[in-house]
Amino acid sequence: MSAPVAGATSDHTGVRSSTATSQAVVSLHLRRLHQRLESLGIDVRRGERDRLATWRPRLVGSSYVGSAANLAAYLAFRHHDIRDIQDELAVLGLSSLGRIEAHVRAGIAAVQASLGAVLGDAASLARVERIGRLREAQTLRLPERAAVLLGPERPDRRTRVMVTLPEEAATDANVVRDLLERGMDLARINAAHDGPDTWRAMARQVRSASSQSGRPCRILLDLPGPKLRIAPLPSKPGRLRLRSPRDGSGLNVFLLDGSGEPGTPRPLDGSEPRVAVDPAWLAHLDIWDRIECVDARARPRILRVDARSSAQTVLVSTRRGIALAEGIELRLLRKHKEGASVTIGPFEPAPGSITVRVGDVLRLVADRPMTRSDVGDRDPDGPWIACIQAGVLEALQVGREVVVDDGHVVTRVEAIAANEARLRVMTTRRPEERLRADQGLNFPDSPIRGQGFGADDLIALDVAADTADIVGLSFAQGPEDVDRLIKELDARGAHDTGVIAKIETQSGIERLPDIIVAGAARRPFGVMIARGDLAVEIGYERLAEMQEEVMWLCEAAHVPVIWATQVLESLVKTGIPTRAELTDAAMAQRAECVMLNKGPHILEGIDTLIDVICRMQAHQSKKTSRLRALRSW
């Protein structure tokens, strides 16, 4: 037998000693990590307690206390930068605390317990199961509240689809029926447009179609809100403009009207346009008569008489585009007829508008009386607009921005006088932009806000109390706005009507936790990320970051989120989606509801959105990646 190798015993001893030293270092590292988590948990509990103390008056007698506590804990938790802790936990294969929105304290405690178990603490093992049950119970609160507010989940998808109803939904039952059949879960009525009769008619159509189809559908009525808008511009003489039909066989059709009423270029009821003429001349027309004219653009045109609709109206057609204005002569081509020509009568006035380009000067003036001759873009001092809210000029400063029509036009204040501010047009989305009454005005770097509930909001609330399941609070800027809305709903007997706070201003972002508690403690409640005005108010470059933060905050608060504004907009309007908006729709499925706006291709929009949602929910649940088996490779 060979002799033992010299030093062999000492080598093995050294290995054992090195291993013991490494284990001690690892154990020390784990204990320090455990202590940091314990310290973090203490700070979170302290922050939760302090925040809850400010909310306590709103939470008395409310079932929302547990969720409010979790929201308070999340706010305290996110005041810490724990990225280094996350890296260390990830190396150990433990949760990195990146998905604890729904159960903050339980999430921290679960990681602490896991670390304790690694360190040999038997008591930690006993806590793991109890903490797991608590986490599961807290996680279920959000889907339960979403079902109460937005309606039940579909068997095949968690995310609901909301659609803004077009005006024709008030009169055409097929419109709502088709939307429901394609998958609409909520119908949105925008009270910033149309009127009470139309809103009520839309609601009736939704209730009827839902009952007949057996498909549940909630109704959301959005209040107009205190949006700052362009005041009415002086009207312009009306005229009828019809484009050439795109296919060669098409016809432009309108009515010659001898009732004595002004012509209506765009009737609200969807009927044919009307052109006012002398009833005596109209009486001589026969079917197939031909009428000639030179239209408002100096183009010769021929009209054909197709039918006599009534004693006072005759239906005529032309195969080409035509522009008709008051004073244009119409002449029968059959000369022997009595009264061979007639002059077109007046049209209903057209809404005023102003065309601007980059570099133009636009004046923002104090509200002033409008007259027919006082046309904004014909003023000798240059085009002007006014804001519907008084006092705006006093808050402006040179160098600040004024944004028009959700960012379509961006201007900068160059000078301020007693009754007007001089604005320089800096950017436009198209070479020429047309400004009209009711387009939005935003003042992103000025301390200007809307003046709360107005007469239009109260009228809309009267309708909502009778017809809607949910009311949308536009431009929610603080808990006092929620308080006022709930007070108005209670006064109308609408004690169970849900509330959606639309977050679209800097103030709404800053005070979002207080807004949530004010609403969720008293009603079925949710939050809409209204990305149009929000992007203008906070800056487009911050929108992606902010919509994520709102989603996290609402998950911590256990309140559902509606992802809104420009979802699949190109597809809905043109029938062709962009690549970017498909990616946006994929991101949107993490919300409890996604809103589509109205458009001629809305049914295709619903189909595409649902297809994207169903595909993505197999891969993503809120912030958690779900590892379904891949089929492509």
Task: Give mean pLDDT in consecutive 10-residue pieces for the chain, a chain of 633 residues.
Answer: 45 61 74 91 95 95 95 96 91 88 91 84 73 84 96 94 95 94 96 92 96 95 87 86 73 93 82 92 90 94 92 92 94 71 92 90 73 44 80 86 90 89 92 89 80 84 96 94 96 96 93 97 96 87 93 97 94 93 94 95 96 92 86 84
Per-residue pLDDT, 59: 95
How far from chain centre, in Å, is Cα 501? 11
Distance (Å, whole) CA 95 – CA 116: 14
Q: Is 622 left (phi over 0), alpha (psi -120 to 50) or beta?
A: left
Which tokens go with 145?
A: 């509240």
Q: Where are the alpha helices (DSSP H) in 214-305?
A: 279-282
Query: Exposure pattern of 306-342 as b/e (b: 16+ CB <10 Å)?
Result: eebeeebbbbbebbeebbbbbebebebeeeeeeeeeb
pLDDT at 446: 82
pLDDT value, residue 372? 35
Distance CA 145, CA 526 (A): 9
CB 262 within 8 A of CB 490: no
Which 3-state string (H, E, C) describes 410-426?
Answer: EEEEEEECCCEEEEEEE
270: left (phi over 0), alpha (psi -120 to 50) or beta: left
Residues near 244 by beta carbon (within 8 Å), at least 6 away in sequence: 252, 319, 320, 321
- Tokens matching residue 557: 């608060």
- Residues 6+ away with beta carbon under 8 Å from 287: 305, 306, 307, 308
Q: Which residue has 């339980």 as its token pair? A: 106
Helix (H) or strand (E) segment spanning residue 133: helix 122-139
Task: Tell me what pLDDT residue 537 has.
Answer: 86
pLDDT at 376: 42
Give long-range contacts, CB 8 A cutoff, 24+ apart: 454-458.
Answer: 454/224, 454/226, 456/191, 456/224, 457/223, 457/224, 457/225, 458/488
Q: Taking a C-beta distance cutoff of 8 angstroms, is the pair 522, 486 a contact?
A: yes
- DSSP E strands in 460-523: the ranges are 470-473, 498-503
Kindly report the number of other CB atoms within 10 A of residue 39's CB atom.
11
CB atoms within 10 A of CB 138: 22
The answer to whether the beta carbons of residues 433 and 407 sit under 8 Å apart is no
Q: Which residue has the tokens 């992103």?
A: 444
**pLDDT computed for residue 2 by the predictor:** 43
d(CA 109, CA 41): 8
d(CA 432, CA 444): 23
All structural domains of the chain:
11-139 (no CATH), 144-226+450-625 (3.20.20.60), 239-343 (2.40.33.10), 353-442 (2.40.33.10)
Q: Which amino acid is at 113?
A: A
